């Protein structure tokens, strides 16, 4: 279990690239596996979560290989032509691939068992079990609707119209993917817009998808028994990974870095808007479109951040970035208030309590509320750091580990975390990139 101390650093300089977007990488592998013929994927994130998706799709009948130049080639089996896996699908730490694959297999006529690591096995799956059961799939889950669980797909499944009770791109995507092999039209009603990578990419792969409005809410319809067509997918840089370097540059004096090719999808880039609201100097250079997704190069310079009340409607577009936003808030001038973040309690860890404990240990002033944190900033002064012999508990959560690593860069005595191993689930090159940018 590799513990590590992150020390205060010199300014972050130069130009860096962050790994490919995790959400888009998962979907590229899945949808290419459902297209008949060969798709190619460039820029795929090669973290443990995405590799778990690749492994699962191989077990379901797709032929997936990585070429020496880093391009991935996928020979798909076709919608409705997946095969029953011979053994349990081990999803590791990946909640995204678990929920999306449950949707995909819900309309195939066979059984599959899903397992995962200790962290994933504590995460709730009832939110996808509920709509998929309405479509005819049946489930045997562990107590509390968690993994391990067995799914029996329905063939044919029944199309439904499902109104999301909680803003969740994963639940939306699970229902739409179940709709791919369901005769008729499956509809999802979204009261609050969530990340739309599934819709964008399914349309590119040739699915019949319509997006409209009903009573002021987003209505997404998909026509089943789809034929997907192979594509060449270029995966943009992950805004969730870029967020750690954006915040690091904002809080370390003298920093001026450029992060290349960052996905700027409006349903994902909330962290940029929130940090700008706090006074962050983040410039978008050469905004462009890559593979149906908006991207830009981001130039980020050290800024005197101010506390702010973060609009809860931003939450779905930056839900994974709140841990590192809390770090920025801890070094801002004044008080930052966040609310509407109950979803953070059921991530890889309870990220509200984990970050409240971690930042308090490092010397920040934090109040934990039911649905958010109130953070009183230092006004730009370094955090004291973790006392000698104490370690931040990362609770097997990659984003806690990386966020507190960033906090260490702007601390007096450094921040020690108990385990950096989870970082490789989403950002295997984090430590090397950080070392390179802060020399």
pLDDT tens sequence across 278-326: 999 999 999 998 878 999 999 999 999 999 999 999 998 899 999 999 9
Q: What are φ and ψ of residue 108, in 5° steps?
A: -115, 145
For residue 206, the model assigns a pLDDT of 97
- List, for residues 408-434, the tens digit of each pLDDT value: 999 999 999 999 999 988 899 999 999
Task: From the candidates 196, 320, 397, 419, give the one annotated as an active-site residue.
Answer: 320
Locate tokens 């931003």: which residue?
314
Query: Residue 82: pLDDT band by 50, 70, 90 thresholds?
Result: very high
Q: Is 143 annotated as a binding residue?
A: no
- Give the span between the Cα atoms of 366 and 388, in whole angstroms: 21
Q: CA angle at residue 41 from 39 to 43, to 5 degrees?
A: 175
Lowest mean pLDDT among 73-87, 131-145, 240-254, 285-299: 285-299
Mean pLDDT of the 356-384 span: 97
Q: How many CB atoms lie within 10 A of CB 264?
A: 21
For residue 192, the model assigns a pLDDT of 86
For residue 1, the model assigns a pLDDT of 61
Q: Is 260 annotated as a binding residue?
A: no
Q: Is 99 annotated as a binding residue?
A: no
Q: How many CB atoms lie within 10 A of CB 147?
A: 22
Locate tokens 């199309």: which residue?
159
- Give the span between the Cα atoms of 386 and 147, in whole angstroms: 35
Mean pLDDT of the 161-189 span: 96
Answer whether residue 226 shows pLDDT above 90: yes
Answer whether residue 98 shows pLDDT above 80: yes
Q: Is 27 annotated as a binding residue?
A: yes
Helix or strand holding residue 356 (H, E): helix 351-361
The DSSP secondary-structure symbol of 315 reads G
Q: Which token pair is 284?
A: 């978008």
Mean pLDDT of the 332-354 span: 93
Are 206 and 226 within 8 A, CB to CB? yes
Domains, the chain, in order of start with CATH, read: 4-20+236-437 (3.65.10.10), 22-234 (3.65.10.10)
Exposure letters 186-208 (e unless 16+ CB within 10 A, then b): bbbbbeebbbbbbbbbbebbebe
Q: Where do the H-state alpha helices sit in 73-210? A: 95-106, 126-134, 169-180, 197-204
> pTM of the entire structure?
0.86
Q: What are φ and ψ of residue 207, in 5° steps?
A: -70, 150
Are 361 and 392 within 8 A, CB to CB? yes
Q: Which token pair is 327?
A: 């770090």
Burial of residue 215 (CB within 10 Å: 0-12, 13-18, 19+) is exposed
Q: Is 351 annotated as a binding residue?
A: yes
For residue 62, the model assigns a pLDDT of 98
Q: What is the overall mean pLDDT for the chain? A: 95
Mean pLDDT of the 174-180 span: 98
Three-class secondary structure of residue 24 per DSSP: helix
Q: Is 170 annotated as a binding residue?
A: yes
Mean pLDDT of the 224-237 span: 96
Q: Is 320 a catalytic residue?
A: yes
Q: Where do the H-state alpha helices sit in 12-91? A: 22-34, 48-59
Residue 386 CA: distances (Å) to CA of 212, 264, 313, 335, 364: 51, 34, 33, 22, 10
């Amino acid at each position: 279990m590799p513990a590590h101390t992150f020390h205060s650093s010199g300014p972050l300089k130069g130009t860096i690239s962050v790994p490919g977007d995790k959400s888009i990488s998962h979907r590229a592998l899945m949808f290419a596996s459902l297209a008949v013929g060969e798709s190619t994927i460039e820029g795929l994130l090669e973290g443990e979560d995405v590799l778990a998706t690749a492994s699962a799709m191989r077990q379901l009948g797709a032929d997936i290989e990585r070429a020496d130049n880093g391009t991935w080639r996928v020979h798909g089996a076709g919608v409705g032509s997946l095969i029953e896996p011979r053994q349990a699908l081990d999803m590791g730490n990946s909640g995204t691939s678990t929920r999306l694959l449950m949707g995909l297999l819900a309309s195939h006529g066979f059984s599959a068992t899903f397992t995962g690591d200790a962290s994933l096995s504590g995460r709730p799956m009832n939110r996808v079990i509920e709509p998929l059961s309405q479509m005819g799939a049946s489930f045997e889950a562990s107590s509390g609707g968690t993994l391990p669980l067995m799914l029996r797909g329905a063939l044919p499944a029944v199309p439904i119209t499902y109104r999301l009770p909680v803003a969740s791109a994963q639940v939306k995507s699970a229902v739409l993917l179940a709709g791919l092999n369901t005769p008729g039209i499956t509809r999802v009603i979204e009261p609050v817009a969530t990340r739309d990578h599934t819709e964008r990419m399914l349309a590119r792969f040739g699915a019949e998808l319509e997006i409209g409005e009903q009573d002021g809410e987003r209505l997404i319809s998909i026509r089943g028994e789809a034929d997907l067509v192979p594509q060449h997918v270029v995966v943009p840089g992950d805004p969730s990974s870029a967020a750690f370097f954006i915040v690091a540059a904002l809080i370390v004096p003298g920093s001026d870095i450029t992060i290349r090719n960052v996905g700027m999808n409006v349903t994902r880039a909330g962290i940029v808007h929130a940090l700008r609201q706090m006074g962050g100097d983040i410039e978008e250079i050469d905004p462009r479109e890559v593979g149906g997704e908006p991207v830009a190069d981001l130039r980020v310079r050290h800024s005197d951040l101010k506390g702010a009340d973060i609009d809860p409607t931003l939450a779905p577009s930056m839900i994974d970035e709140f841990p590192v936003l809390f770090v920025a808030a801890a070094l801002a001038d004044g008080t930052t208030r966040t609310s509407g973040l109950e979803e953070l309690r059921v991530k890889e860890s309870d990220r509200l309590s984990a970050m409240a404990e971690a930042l308090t240990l490092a010397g920040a002033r934090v109040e934990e509320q039911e649905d958010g944190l109130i953070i009183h900033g230092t006004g730009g002064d370094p955090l004291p750091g973790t006392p000698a012999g104490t370690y931040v508990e990362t609770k097997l959560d990659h984003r806690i580990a990386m966020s507190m690593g960033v906090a260490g860069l702007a601390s007096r005595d450094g921040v020690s975390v108990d385990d950096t191993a989870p970082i490789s689930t989403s950002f295997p090159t984090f430590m090397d990139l950080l070392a390179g940018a802060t020399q």
